Structure formats: structure tokens, C-alpha cells
Structure 1
């Protein structure tokens, strides 16, 4: 087949044909869990596209105006230009409400996809050498995504977002020595000031997206260079990759999945209402909404704040509000620091410094899996506690008792999850080892000449055997070991199935 003159000339000048051919033949393994990272990537693309649309009409100003738009309940009310422009996008711009809700849903999906992708990487050990840096980048992207979401839902300057900013200001003030200065720096004076929206706007549309784009680029480059991890199976080793090439298989699937993700987000934006700011009204420092809840990814901070007892001390003339500092500053800082440092901590504890390209099954690493389950439980309890008032109201529960339940669960829950998960993993290991060495139950019962009964055990499927760790793959050495004694009448030979 001839080569186009333009491509031939380009290859003569840049020598790109060989590198392009090699990269287009690169193999990627096929497993549904690998799509979690793609969901995050495509949600980020939709965030950029819908956010660019919204910037044409949003006004990041806290200058007070009188609303005279089409929404009758707020006509004549005083509000900031930021809130008024949000109402304009929702009610007057063609397709504005759809794009605004798609933007919000894409943000929620973006954070959720990063979160679940990190869980997949953690439980399968895909963060081990040589991918430690990519794990740290992933944790950094999660933090940036949370910050991006918080700045985004703070921009409309409605009552809900203003309440969130008020909580954020309290967190800043709890930091010893520098808290007051940080609060004045962010808000330009006493809360709420008149410049915080204008300061959050470039952070939301420029600084954090640029950092995310840079981290996403480095992350994808590292995945490309280091090759993708894969699950244990037939013909899969630490030195190869079993999968489909970039063209046409992987590219076609990725494009289809991009369109599918966009379709789901568009459907949510069209049919599932989210953040109806017109129902909350403009923010005023003297008002607060009942059952005010932040987006799910910062709900755990709300929960820890609600559970912490009111404790304050005075040291050297400075008041330290431990009930805010510990749950909202120390706890998340410690949590994400341990999370980012986990590959290095595990390597130091286990002494495993070998490169790994085959993923673990969670059951095969029970301690790590149990720690992950404990972390999820800790996060889940704190998240649920962030809505304790809603739970108490709609489930007709005592709020005081509910708070104490969550306080106890915050300590006992992770411990219980650790113990149960580890025992389940050990039990699954024993079942796998039994299957590898004795075979799989066939359901066929035979009677021995001596009168006893035993079940015929068959060798495990080669594909299933390949998924087991190498230490399990010795298998039965003699055909007679596949027979396991079940029961026998009087005079039956009790050892018929094993001798």
C-alpha cells in the first residue's frame, strides 16, 4: 500500500512513522474497572465545555442589585450580581438551566469517579512500584477536584453556598496564629466582605482547572510509558500485556464510552433537578436554611464538625477551638497525608521493592483490604453524620441519641469493619486453596463398593486456576485425591475417598 506524499514528507523531516506505528499498536487490557478512570477523564472534558458556556453569562460580583427578572417570587429582592446572573442563566438564557445542571452533575461524577478509581487502585495494589508517583498524582487530583467543587457551588452566592462559605471562614479562624490573617486575606475583611466571589472565580475557572489539566496529562503519560496493570489470568505475566491495540479496538470503545458518559450527564441535567438556587434565595448573613447539606464529597467534614464535642483551650493568650481545628483541619490533613504516602508506607512495612504489573485480588492481601474497608467505614460514618438533622427529622429519631450513635460508630465502626473484612478475606483464601489442591465440587455423588458415599471433585477451570496466586497452583497430584468422603453406613470405609 502506498504512503501519502504528505505523510512521507513529514516522516522524512520528523521521523515520526516508527514511533507512531509503535504507539498505535500499544495494547490495553480490557476490564470494566479500568473504565472508572475514563469516566473521570470524560467528566472533566464535559466540565470544561459546560463551564466555558456558563462563563459568558455569569457575573462574579457581589455588588448589590434589585432583581427584575422573570422569576416572580424574587422580583424586587436585593441580591448580588452573582446570584442575579445565576438566575438569568437558569431562566433567560436558552439552554442555560440544562448546561448549568449538566455542569453540576459532571462535577459530582468527576469526584465520584476519581474516588472509586483510587479505591480500585488501592484494593488491587496497582499503586506499587513503579506507579507510586501516579498514586500521589491521583490523590492530588482528588483534593483539587474537591476544592474545585467547593469553589464552584460557592459562586452563585445563594443561601446554601453562603452558609458553606461561613463554615469555611470558621475553619480558617480555628487555625492558631494565622487563622485571622487567612480569613481577612480570603474575604477581604470581615465576613462576608464584598470580594470573595470575585476571588473564587479565577481560582475556579483558571487556576484549579490548569493544575488538574497538568496532572491529568502527566498521569496519562505515566500510564502510557509504564504500561497498564492487568489482572491475573491465562497467559498474563509481569512482562506482557494481554489486551486490544489502541487502534481500532481501544479507540472505538473509548469514543463510545465518551458519548455514553455525555449522554448520561445530559440526561441527568435534563430530568434530575440539582441545586435549585432560586428556592434558597440570596445569601444574607442573618439567615440560614434548615437541612442545609453540602455536596456529598465534603459531607464528611460536615459530619466530623457535628460530632466533635465543644472543646476550647487558651494557650499564651490564644484561644484554640479544638472542636473545629481537629475535625476540619487536623483530621483531613492526616487522612490525605496517610493516603498519599500509602505506597511508601506499605513498601517499608512489607519490604516489597519489586516492580508489579499484575494486580492483586483484594482477598489475597487481607490486611490491606481490611484497612481499606476501615477507611471507607470511617468516611461513610462521618458522611452520614453530616445529615444527622435530616435523618432525625424524616426517620423520627432523637437527634441527641443519633449524635452519640455516630460518635460511637466513628470509633467502633472502622475497627469492626477491619476485623470482619480480614476474616472474610482469610476465609476466601482457604476456599481458594481448597479448590486448587482438591478440586471443585461437581454435585455428583457416588457410592463406594464398601458402602460409603463420596462426591466427585473435578479440576478447576484453567482460567479460574490462572487467577489464583502461584502458591495455590500446585493442584492435586493424584486423581484419587479428587474424591472426598461424604458419609457411609455401618461398616463403610471412612478413608475411601482419600487413600
Structure 2
């Protein structure tokens, strides 16, 4: 009987062939794998922006998992007896003291904590720049509207996730940020009081359950949602294929570039190594958020020099520039002032981004066709001008929220700069949009390259 059995492997068979055949006979994975490995990516540097965001998220998960093992999400008071001498014997919450212990008493704790913080900054910055590229190249047009919505949602969740992580250490700076968030939540019409009480487990600074809730949101809820959105985002891209810039041989229904294996996969691994290396270098060489210098948060302490992470600067600017208006009726305040700068302003920004694909399609271009070829920014001067004006508006408010210390040091009064930025925020978008429109139209009509000198 043994002579009749077929040989288990052929003498010349690759050692990997047998497990591959085993999987394929049961799951039919060969065709799917072959299709995935032959997927073609367009060759353009701007497509790497999305990969920076992806790899930063991977670094966030890796470093965040390490930090979560040692962090204690509790408001219970404790005494510090660690390696950092200036805080010896100081009282503070367990959340704050555990963050300090991570920085000085956990092996590689400070490196990982700072790398985690830098990865969060890079992640949000990469999403913003990637969205700007998608907007100015028209990559949000049919059939990619859903991926645009996913990208805008990821930006919103990334900001919330960053704020939650920035608030967890319960240091002086994060406590002031939570106080502002509590005020904005209270300002929401009709539901503000109930919502703020629910989120904070009572009145500010919150009850015992607030820190575990914030920890769970930061470590589990937001990362799971963002990770799921990234997976759906990539699946849609693979199903629809990448859009590409016009060039000889490139058409609406083909993609010219580098296949997944081996070219793009090896290039992508190298890019991941570069992103991870830069983040770790930043974490080891460039100090960020030194909570041990700020000290633990106390409700009676504050500092005029306090500034949040950069991605919250536009919200601080909105709160700062809003005139002291409130909606009152019947002797009661129905809409408090913080609502306009802290809630309505970001709502307007994100709603504008959400509805833009259909607004442009219906009111600006009347173009309902499928588009797999991208525009250069000059090809659609109106869209580019509107985007530049919108970004200029948000950026002006961002500067107003982050430059006050420099301007006050230069001898410019705080009141004077507030009025200047109020006026500038109303005028600048139209000026920026007009200048951008003229430049794009000229480049489109003449065909010149903006960075190349014309030959004599």
C-alpha cells in the first residue's frame, strides 16, 4: 500500500509551495492574493502623504500599548516618591504621578511617551495635508465621495483622540484644557448641562469615573473606530483603484505605476522605517509636553503662558476672537458665548468639508461624471481659490490662538491684536482667494510652471 501513495513533495518543489497550496485548496486565496500583489500604485510623491498618516497611526498603537500598561487612570490623590527630585513628596492625582513615573522610572518610558506624543502630532498633520491634496486635485469627485467623508471623519476623530490623550496626564496644562472643554460643553443649547454632567461624571473637574472613561475612550474607543475607518478606506481604494494625474498613456480607467509586489511593497516598508525612525528620533531628542515641569493640576492654579497642542490652536483662536455675544431671552441665557467659538466654528468647518463634493458637483461644475484622472490645482482655479480662502480663514484664527505670547512680548496690546485678527479673519479669505484664482488662471492659460524660469 505504501508504494501506491503519492510523494508528499516533489524533489524540486519550493518549501513554501505546500503550505500555500494547503491554504489555497481550502480558502481559494491564490486568486485574491495574486490580484492584490499585482495592484498598481501611481508614481507620485503626494500619494505618500496618506502613508505617513497610516504609519504614524501604527506607531501610536505600538507606543500607546506600552504606555497603557503603566498608566493609572484615577483621580485619587497620592504622594510622589520617584526619581524626579523636584517633585519628591508632592501630592497629586494617581493619573499625574503615574505619568511622571513613566517618564523617569519605567525603562524607556520618557522615550516612548514623547514618541507617542510626536506620533500624534505627525498623524494629525499628515491627515490635514493629505486632505488638502485630495481637495485641490479633485480626488473627492465621483466615485470617491465616500472615502472623502471617511477622511474628514478620521480628522475629526484624530483631533478628539489627541485631545483625550493630551488630557490624560492631569497636569496643569491638560487640566486647563479640560476646563475649556467643560465650558464649551456647558454652552451647547438645551443639552449642555446634561451632556457635560454625563461626560465629566458631575461638575468640573469631574467625578471618580471621569478618568477611567477618558482612558477607555482614548485607548479603546477612538483607536478602534479610527482603525476600522482606515481599513474601510483602504478597501475602497483597492476596489476603486487610485486616481492618477494626467500623463501620456494614463486614461480614466487604467492606472500606470508600480505593482504592489515587489516594487511598491519594498518601497513602502522603507517609507515606514523612515517615518518610524523620525518619530523615535523626535521622541529621544526633542522634548515635548514636559508634564513634570508643569506640575499637577489644581483648580486654583493657572498660567497665561499655557498653550495647547497645535491642532487645538484654531479652537482657542475661535474662542478668543468671538465678540462677547450671547443669546438671551426671558431673562435667561439660551446660548452662552463659548458656543460660537468652541462649538459652532468647528461645526461650520466640518460641515463645509462634508458637503463639499456635492456642493461643487451641483452648484459649481454641474459635472456628474466619474473621474479617475486628477486635476492639477491650476486646472480648476475656482475650487483652488475657494480652498485657499477657506484654509486661510482657519489658519488666521489658528494664528490668533497661538501667537498672543509673541505679540504681547513685542509690545502689542492683547486687545489690539484681538481686534486686528477679527478684521483680518474677515478680509484675508477673500484676498487670498482672489490672488490664488488669478495665479491659477494664468498658469492654466499659459501652461507655465510656477517654479521654472522661462528660457531666453
1:37 equivalent among 50, 53, 74: 50
Q: CA deviation at 1:39?
A: 0.2
| Aligned residue number for residue 148 of structure 2 | 135
Equivalent residue for 1:429?
444
1:302 corresponds in structure 2 to 316
Deviation at 1:9, TM superposition (A): 3.2
- Aligned counterparts of 1:442 and 1:103: Cα–Cα separation in 2: 49
In structure 1, which of residues 164, 171, 174 is the aligned counterpart of residue 177 of structure 2?
164
Deviation at 1:17, TM superposition (A): 1.7
1:248 aligns with 2:265: no
Determine if contact 1:280/1:289 at 8 Å carries over to the other structure: no
Structure-to-structure mapping, 1:477-488, within 5 angstroms = none
- Look up the SS of the partner of 2:195 in the other structure: helix
Rate the CA distance shift 1:441–1:382 in 2: closer, same or farther, 3 A.
closer
Choose which of 223, 234, 256 in structure 2 pairs with 1:209. 223
Q: What secondary structure does 1:65 align onto?
A: strand
Higher mean Cα deviation, 348-357 or 245-254? 348-357
| SS in structure 2 at match of 1:244 | strand
- Report the counterpart of residue 379 of structure 1 in structure 2: 394
CA–CA distance in structure 2, aligned partners of residues 314 and 402 of structure 1: 28
Question: How far apart are the structure 2 equivalents of 1:188 and 1:294?
Answer: 24
Aligned equivalents of 1:394 and 1:233: distance in 2?
52
Give yes or no for contact 1:63–1:194 (8 Å, CA) kept in 2: no
| Superposed counterparts of 1:367-406, under 5 Å | 367-406=382-421
Matched, 1:412 2:427: yes
Q: Confirm or deny: 8 A CA contact 1:230 1:241 kept in the other structure.
A: yes
Task: Compute the displacement of 1:35 (Å).
Answer: 0.4
Deviations, residues 111-144 of structure 1 (Å, cap 9, x unaligned)? 0000000000000000001100000000000001
> Is contact 1:176-1:318 (8 Å) kept?
no
Q: Name the CA distance, whole Å, in 1 between partners of 2:298 and 2:436.
A: 47
**2:138 pairs with 1:125:** yes
Cα distance in 2, alignment partners of residues 137 and 24 from structure 1: 25
Distance 1:193 1:393 in 2: 34
For the pair 1:332 / 2:346, whether they are aligned, the reply is yes
**1:175 CA drift (Å):** 1.0
Q: Are residues 441 and 173 of structure 1, via their aligned partners in 2, closer, same or farther at CA, if it must alter by over 3 Å? A: closer
Deviations 1:333-385 (A, max 9, x none): 12101101111111111221111111101011011000110111111111111
Give how far 1:193 is off: 2.4
Structure 2 distance, partners of 1:8, 1:277, is 55
Structure 1 residue ranges without an equivalent (≥5): 435-439, 444-499
Cα distance change on mapping 1:53 and 1:423 into 2, 3 Å: same
Partner residue in 1 for 2:37: 24
* Cα deviation code 1:251-276 (max 9, x no counterpart): 00000000000000000001100000
Partner Cα distance (2:335, 2:30) in 1: 63
Partner SS state of residue 289, structure 2 = coil
Selected match of 1:272 from 270, 274, 286: 286
Over aligned residue pairs, what C-alpha RMSD do you find?
A: 1.6
* Structure with the greater alpha carbon radius of gyration: 1
Distance (whole Å) between structure 2 residues aligned to residue 179 and residue 143 of structure 1: 20
| Equivalence for 1:482 | none
- Three-state SS of the structure 1 residue aligned to 2:324 is coil
Residues 1:66 and 1:5: Cα distance change in structure 2 (over 3 Å): closer
Name which structure has the greater RCO, CA cutoff 8 Å, separation 6+. 2
Q: Specify every segment of 5 or more residues in structure 2 that has no aligned partner in the other structure, as ranges.
A: 1-11
Q: Secondary structure at the match of 1:359?
A: coil
Q: Answer yes or no: is 1:354 the counterpart of 2:385.
A: no
Count of paired positions:
438
Q: CA deviation at 1:315?
A: 1.9
Could you list the per-position Cα deviations for residues 451-493 of structure 1 after superposition, in whole angstroms to 9, with x for gaps in the alignment?
A: xxxxxxxxxxxxxxxxxxxxxxxxxxxxxxxxxxxxxxxxxxx
TM-score by length of 1: 0.85
**Residue 271 of structure 2: which of 257, 279, 296 is its match?**
257
Find the residue that maps to 2:159 and give its secondary structure: helix
Cα pair distance change 1:226/1:283, threshold 3 Å: same
